């Protein structure tokens, strides 16, 4: 089952357009015995011009920080989607800290995980399927303290000084998202959703990240009703 929805929907923080949504036809049959799902570290793709003050190590640090922020936010968004008895899940989610620890114990850092076969990572993590996601944008984030992530003074200064004001250039505000659920048994895609956001960067990074993830979390499968 695949749909393409191009009816724009306005949110307080973000504008969504052209959503691509897919669920394998026999999803319930293929996932009947699934018990636990893990969220992999998000792959961060930057398409802008990096500030000259940032070193290669600074950029790696930023990418790792943003990846962890999106990963933990999506995990929490999934749980939040079941509040007040709505859309309960029939599977458990491995905590993101356990996922990161297992990867680290096996010599796989966050950026390395982006290049690994998701089905192989699912086996390593001991789960039935994994969520692999990619976020593509044209600017870095600096205010990730709410996720327990502190950026260095040099990094924050470089990002802030080179920040493009929101809405001046449309090319600078679009965030492209791609979420995929991959089966551990055969590596096949069970579910996916992808869409573009026009982000209001005047909002905090936390607000932007959580609004992006909430959209996909609401459409995540394995629901009991």
CA–CA distance, 57 with 104 (Å, rounded to integer): 19
Q: Which pLDDT value is given to residue 166?
A: 37
| Whether residue 183 has pLDDT greater than 70 | yes
Average pLDDT over residues 164-189: 75
pLDDT digits (tens, 9 = 90+) for 7-30: 333 333 444 455 688 999 999 999
Average pLDDT over residues 40-48: 93
pLDDT digits (tens, 9 = 90+) for 54-100: 788 888 888 888 999 999 999 999 999 998 777 899 999 999 999 99
pLDDT digits (tens, 9 = 90+) for 109-120: 999 999 999 999
| Whether residue 101 has pLDDT greater than 60 | yes
**What's the whole-number average pLDDT of the chain?**
82
CB-CB contact of 167 with 221 (8 Å): no
> How far apart, in Å, do the first and last CA atoms of the chain sit?
19
Give the list of residues 6+ apart from residue 136 with CB closer than 8 angstroms, or none.
Answer: 45, 46, 47, 175, 176, 177, 178
Picking from 59, 48, 14, the residue whose alpha carbon sits closest to that of residue 213 is: 14
Tokens of 154: 């040099």
What domains sit in the chain, N to C, each tagged with a CATH number? 2-218 (3.40.50.10610)
| Whether residue 168 has pLDDT greater than 80 | no
Cα-to-chain-centroid distance, residue 103: 17
| Whether residue 4 has pLDDT greater than 80 | no
Confidence of residue 158 (pLDDT cuts 50, 70, 90): very low
Average pLDDT over residues 212-218: 92
Q: Which pLDDT value is given to residue 160?
A: 53
Give the list of residues 6+ apart from residue 139 with CB closer than 8 angstroms, or none.
Answer: 46, 48, 159, 163, 164, 172, 201
């Amino acid at each position: 089952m695949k749909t393409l929805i191009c009816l724009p929907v306005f949110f307080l923080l973000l504008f969504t357009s052209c959503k691509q949504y897919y669920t394998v036809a026999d999803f319930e049959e293929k996932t009947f015995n699934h018990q636990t799902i893990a969220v992999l570290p998000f792959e961060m793709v930057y398409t802008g011009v990096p500030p000259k003050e940032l070193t290669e190590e600074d950029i790696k640090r930023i990418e790792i920080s943003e990846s962890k922020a999106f990963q933990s936010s999506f995990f929490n968004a999934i749980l939040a989607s079941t509040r007040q008895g709505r859309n309960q899940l029939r599977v458990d989610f491995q905590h993101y800290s356990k996922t990161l620890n297992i990867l680290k114990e096996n010599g796989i850092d966050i950026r390395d995980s982006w290049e690994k076969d998701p089905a192989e990572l699912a086996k390593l993590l001991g789960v039935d399927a994994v969520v692999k996601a990619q976020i593509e944008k044209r600017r870095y984030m600096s205010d990730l303290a709410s996720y327990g992530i502190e950026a260095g003074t040099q990094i924050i200064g470089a990002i802030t000084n080179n920040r493009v004001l929101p809405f001046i250039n449309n090319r600078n505000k679009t965030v492209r998202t791609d979420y995929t659920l991959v089966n551990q048994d055969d590596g096949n895609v069970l579910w996916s959703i992808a869409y573009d956001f026009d982000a209001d960067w005047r909002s905090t990074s936390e607000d932007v990240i959580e609004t992006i993830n909430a959209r996909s979390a609401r459409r995540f499968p394995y629901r009991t009703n």
